[in-house]
Amino acid sequence: MEKINGKSIFNGIAIGKILFYSKDAGQVKRVKITDPRAEMERYNKAKEKAVEELNAIYARAVKEVGELNARVFEVHAMMLEDDTFHDSIQNIIETQHVNAEYAVATTGDNLSAMFAEMEDEYFRARAIDVKDIAERVISILLGKSRSNDIGNEPVIIVAEDLAPSETVQMDKEKLLAFVTRLGSANSHTAILARTMNLPALVGVDIREEWNGKTAVVDGSAGELIIEPDEATLAEMRERQEEIARNRELLENLKGKEDITRSGKKIKLYANIGGTGDVANVIKNDGAGIGLFRSEFLYLESGDYPSENDQFQAYRTVAENMAGKKVIIRTLDIGADKQVDYFRLEKEENPAMGYRAIRICLDRTDIFKTQLRALYRASAYGSIGIMFPMIISVEEVRQIKTIVEEVKKELDEQQIQYGSVELGIMIETPAAVMISDLLAEEVDFFSIGTNDLTQYTLAIDRQNSRLDHIYDAHHEAVLRMIRMVVENGHKHNIWVGICGELGADLSLTREFIRMGIDELSVSPGAILPIRKIIRETE
């Protein structure tokens, strides 16, 4: 028996045979050609077929993992149409007089290496996307299939890395878990693994000799166990059965109230990144949406999304939630979320730089466009708006002045809108310390524990070297949360948590004792938290 450590992407336990998955786009050789125009025609036909394949994968992925997670395949298709990708291939073919396969492989390697060297973890994770689309085109040019047939029996996939398209095309009934050497928690494949509720590990020192061997993936411990002994197998099967029993019990909680034994009601809401996530909120019986990250509308667009595009997205969510509360956070661009068309200057310390509400109050044209869309959508459901990265009362008053200007414009144009709650995110120590003053200005607080922890402990949460001292349970963080709750309640406003700490089951009872009114978490965490709420005095 051998135990190997990795970084867990999704908890759970999988037991089965290992299938060592290796890519085979075919050996790419450099071949001299005499007709560059004919070679470009070969490439263009292969590209068109690749786009058709990606569109088909997108349609399948929407059904299996939701619209938001499927959009990566739309992005892949757009990358194939990108001038940078196309022009590089054309230049290599025409100047070097080489075959299309070699030009595509070289372009894929160059662009992938460029992404891999970027400081931002999100963009580093995009390196695998570039490789994936290059390998797809190469396979078509070589006349080879990219079939992801993994056999007839359920298996644990072990691979160097997995592209999103490979993951989605595998038969979900035959997948037990993923284990890869490369990849990160921010990769699309990791996101898909979480969406499909599959145990997954990355950063594992994999070996091809494991192929066919029995193994255990223990997501909670971050371990891969090769050829476990009988005692270990028995223990893991017992834990699997316990997990299955707990899931069944949790299903029975659907339709139940989020109320403690002593009668305190908690608003148990969900965090989402786009319209495609609403189905998961409904499936998991969320009482509302406590955080709609509106910046994803900007991140997934090649230009500033129009007022109407935003209105349609917000309206769709509001209508689908059928009167349940939907709280939408205004644009939170900057720091680790960069958008090319915003043309933001590179900063030495972007987490504390030009971001979120600072951009909105500086570029009021962008801010007003979003606010108009939000208020228009409020006529179709129960919408609340909250503003990120607040540090002063003056900022809140400035926001409220702009809101009144937007409402006046809508009134003059006879455009209907509903009653909208206005709140702020408490995610800076400054906001915590003046939360008694801020509470006089707004309808609610939502505590963003991710940034609050980062700023309180002076630790960059993107820096993996500091993971061992990044402690969201730090007493300073918990005291700040308690102070915000007390100040909010003194001024008769409700207080919630929308950061990752809200889904920390070890703190649920503590938050209830503090007096937290709302918890907003990922849809899959709703029922486990409901269980704790209903068991708490």
Residues tagged active-site: 188, 498
Selection from 25, 129, 35 nearest residue 74 by Cα: 129
Strand arrangement of the beta sheet that strand 155-159 belongs to: 2-5, 223-226, 214-218, 13-21, 155-159, 175-180, 200-202, 7-10
Query: What type of residue is 283?
Result: K
Could you tell me how many residues make up the chain?
537
Q: What's the Cα-to-Cα distance from 119 to each of 3, 15, 185, 336, 337, rounded to whole Å?
A: 32, 37, 16, 10, 12
User: DSSP class of residue 464?
Assistant: G
- DSSP per-residue letters across 231-259: HHHHHHHHHHHHHHHHHHHHHTTTT---B
Using an 8 Å Cβ cutoff, are 246 and 532 in contact? no
What residues contact 235, with CB distance under 8 A and at least 6 apart? Answer: none
Long-range contacts of the stretch 280-285 (C-beta < 8 A, 24+) = 280/66, 280/523, 280/524, 281/321, 281/523, 282/320, 282/321, 283/523, 284/523, 284/524, 284/526, 284/527, 285/253, 285/254, 285/255, 285/526, 285/527, 285/530
